[in-house]
Amino acid sequence: MFEVLILLFDATLRVATPLVLAAMAGMFSERSGIVDIGLEGKMLGAAFAAAAVATTTGSAWLGLGAGILASLTLSSLHAYACVTHNGNQVVSGMAINIVVAGLTPTLGFAWFKLGGRTPALNGDERFTSITLPFADALADVPIIGHIYSELISGHNIIVYMAAISVPIVAYVLYRTRFGLRVRAVGENPSAVDTAGISVELMRYKALAVTGFLCGIAGSYLSTAHGAGFIRDMTAGKGYLALAALIFGKWKPVPTLLACLLFAFTDALQARLQGVEIPVIGVIPVQFIQALPYILTVLLLAGFVGKAHPPKAIGQPYIKEK
């Protein structure tokens, strides 16, 4: 039983990684007052760019750089539409999702002739697992050694990036001048403007951070968690990250816990497929696969409580003349 739990939590960490990175990315965008429903599209674009460059150059790190660059480009487009031209933020985000969902398999088919996929990644083209110091030596130590060697050690570097991203995001948002200004822009842009700070520039900076983190999240899917790009491989993770952000009430630690809950449900459904449960029997695969999404709806509909989003979220700022 203990080993089963360790394996379940181990899978939870791997599944939670893109959710955590995307939710932390959305934290900056939405805290600055910009709704970012386009997290899904940015992740998908980054996943394709990372896999395409990794398979072409043979370097996972160059793939990661390309994934970040693709996501930054999409984030800049969202900023240009919503900040510079005061466009509808939901429409802009959905447009990004739709365009990327169609463009990536088209480019994949044109470049690699594999039906919209990229070639399978091997060796240095992927981020492989890292064995932490003393993990092998402690593997036989009861409980603690097993937790360290199996649960904490043995993940790829992007999983550890996701883990440290939460305290970094919390520090930046609550302990730095940049974070203070981002939160202020999302709450009262007029006051920020009166203080002589450019609202537009702060929102552009916040969306740049969003693009950077989304790029890492998308690259993880194709070059670390998976071994190449396939069509629609994000499978709604951007929306789940957004739901976790709302469930976490736009705060880093509660958002992390929401991501872990969604990931645990996802890991559990993978383990339950085909397993006969006493009294209940074998649960249909379709129902098990829908568990994370059912949980999302239930949490958002009835258990999240009263959420207080940033006051200026979704409202374009038009400077008075």
| pLDDT for residue 290 | 76
Q: What is the mean predicted confidence (pLDDT) over 98-105?
A: 94
**Percentage of residues in the chain having pLDDT higher than 90:** 60
Got the DSSP string for 23-49?
A: HHHHHHHHHTT---TTHHHHHHHHHHH
Bridge-partner residues for 281, per DSSP? 277
| Band of residue 5 on the pLDDT scale cut at 50, 70, 90 | confident
Q: Tell me which residue of 93, 56, 98 sits closest to 75, measured CA to CA.
A: 93
Bridge-partner residues for 277, per DSSP? 281
Range of weakest confidence among 130-139, 214-223, 267-276: 267-276
At residue 293, does pLDDT exceed 90? Answer: no
Distance (Å, whole) CA 96 – CA 320: 30
pTM for the full model? Answer: 0.92
Per residue in 208-231, pLDDT (tens digit) is 999 999 999 999 999 999 999 999
Classify each residue of 21-31 as buried b or exposed e, where b means 16 or more C-beta atoms within 10 Å of its C-beta. bbbbbbbbbbb
| pLDDT for residue 1 | 74
In the chain, DSSP finds a helix count (H) and a strand count (E) of 14, 2
Task: Please give the structure tokens belonging to residue 238.
Answer: 């951007």
- CB–CB of 218/45 below 8 Å? yes
| Band of residue 247 on the pLDDT scale cut at 50, 70, 90 | confident
Q: Tell me which residue of 43, 32, 46, 21 sits closest to 82, measured CA to CA.
A: 32
| pLDDT for residue 268 | 81
| Band of residue 279 on the pLDDT scale cut at 50, 70, 90 | low
Report the sign of the C-alpha dihedral through residues 316, 318, 319, 320, in that order: negative
| Band of residue 257 on the pLDDT scale cut at 50, 70, 90 | very high
Distance (Å, whole) CA 234 – CA 41: 9
- CB–CB of 23/241 below 8 Å? yes
At residue 303, does pLDDT exceed 70? Answer: no
Q: Burial, 176: exposed, middle or buried (Cβ in 10 Å; 0-12, 13-18, 19+)?
A: exposed
Q: What is the mean predicted confidence (pLDDT) over 265-278?
A: 75
